[in-house]
Amino acid sequence: MSNKEQVCVTGAGGYLASWLVKLLLSKGYIVHGTVRDPSDNKNAHLKKLDNATENLKLFKADLLEYEGLCTAIEGCIGVFHVASPLPSPGEYVPKEQLMEPAVTGTRNVLNACSKAKVKKVIVVSSVAAVALNPNWPKEQIMDEECWSDLEFCEAIKNWYFLAKTAAEKEAWECAKRSNLNVITVCPSLIIGPLLQPTMNATCLYLLNLLKDGSELVENRTTPHVDVRDAAESLLLVYEKPEAEGRYICSSHEISTQDLVDKLKLMYPQYNYPKSFSEGMVWTRVSSRKLQDLGWKYRQLEETITDAVKNYEERGVLAS
C-alpha cells in the first residue's frame, strides 16, 4: 500500500466497521467514514482511535441518500461497504425495513463508487447469503459456489437472509454493469469485544447466554468468527491483488449447548440456560478460499475471554 491511501468505510460506527476503521488507521490509511450523525456520541469512540485526529474524517451519509454517499466516497481509491441493518435476537423487523437499506443501499454505494472511479470495492455480505439452500447436498460442505435460495427465504419469511442474499446479488449486478472491481466477504456470526458504546445484535447473542438463565434454549449449531479476524479478512482481500469473487469468513462451528458448557468451565459464576431443545444444524461452511489467501483466525477461547472481559468492563455483565 502506498502511504496515505484514502479509503471509505460505510456505517463506520458499527461493530465490524469500528474494528476495520481501527485497523485501517493503524496501517496508515486515510479513512472517510459514513455515519448518520458525526456529532452523535455513539460515534465518539472512532475519534479516540490512534491516528484518528489526522487520518479519520466522518461524513453524514445515509445508505438511501446517494448524494451524501458520493461526497464521502469522492477521492477514495477503495471502499468498504459494511453498513447493513441487522435485527437483534428475537426482534421482528418487517421485510421492507431490511430490504430497502440492504439492496437500494448497496446499489447507491456502488453507483457512487463508479462515479468516483474507485479502484476496488469490498462488500460485506454474510453467510446468510450462502447457507439457506434446500437444494445443496446435505453432506457437502458449503463453499462460495453456494447461494441462499431467494424463493425459499421468501417462503419461510426469513427477511434477513433474503435481504443479505438480494444485496449481494445486487452488488454483483452493479459490478457487471459498471465494470467495478468488487469482492464480497461473507462472515458467519460475528462475536468478540466491541469498540462502540452500545451492544449490537451479535454481541447480545453471547451476552444472553451468560446472563439469561432460561429454562429452555434451542440448541442450534452455528458458525462463528471473531470480529477482529473478520476485519482482518476485509483488509486482506483489499490488499491482495489476486483476490477475486466471494469469500466465506468463518472460523468455528459450535452448538449452543457446547458453547454454554465451554462458558461454564471458564466462567462458572454466570447464569446459564438450564436445558436445551433440539435446534437447527447449519450445513457446514468452508473458509478454505480465504485461508488460501493467507487469512488466519484466533482460537474460540481467546474470543470468549476478550468478549467477556469487555462486557464486564462496560458493566453489562457483573463480574
Task: Check which CATH number belongs to the domain holding 180 and give it.
Answer: 3.40.50.720
Q: Exposed (0-12), middle (13-18) or buried (19+): which is 135, by Cβ within 10 Å?
A: exposed
- Asked whether residue 247 is assigned to any structural domain, the reply reads yes
Q: What is the pLDDT along the chain (319 residues), one digit of tens a residue?
A: 445 799 999 999 999 999 999 999 999 999 999 999 998 888 999 999 999 999 999 999 999 999 999 999 999 999 999 988 776 666 677 888 889 989 999 999 999 999 999 999 999 999 999 999 999 998 899 999 999 999 999 999 999 999 999 999 999 999 999 999 999 999 999 999 999 988 888 888 899 899 877 778 888 888 999 999 999 999 999 999 999 999 999 999 999 999 999 999 999 999 899 888 887 776 689 999 999 999 999 999 999 999 999 999 998 887 5
- What is the grid cell recorded at 210? 451468560
Task: Clarify whether 164 is annotated catalytic.
Answer: yes
- Asked whether residue 273 is assigned to any structural domain, the reply reads yes
Residue 6: which H helix or E strand, with range? strand 6-9
- Asked whether residue 294 is assigned to any structural domain, the reply reads yes
Task: Give the integer Cα–Cα distance in Å for 16 and 8.
Answer: 14
Cα distances from 161 to residues 96, 213, 255, in angstroms, run 13, 28, 20
- Asked whether residue 143 is assigned to any structural domain, the reply reads yes
Dihedral of CA 287/290/294/298: which sign? negative
User: Are 195 and 23 in contact, with CB atoms under 8 Å apart?
Assistant: no
- Asked whether residue 319 is assigned to any structural domain, the reply reads no
**Structural domain range at position 28:** 6-314
Strand bridging mode 252-255 / 216-226: antiparallel
The residue behind cell 445508505 is: 63
- Asked whether residue 74 is assigned to any structural domain, the reply reads yes
If one counts the domains in the chain, the total is 1
- Asked whether residue 152 is assigned to any structural domain, the reply reads yes
Q: Exactly one of 164, 176, 240, 296 is catalytic; name it.
A: 164
Q: Could you give phi then psi for residue 226, rounded to 5 degrees?
A: -70, 140
Query: Is the entire prediction scored with pTM above 0.85?
Result: yes
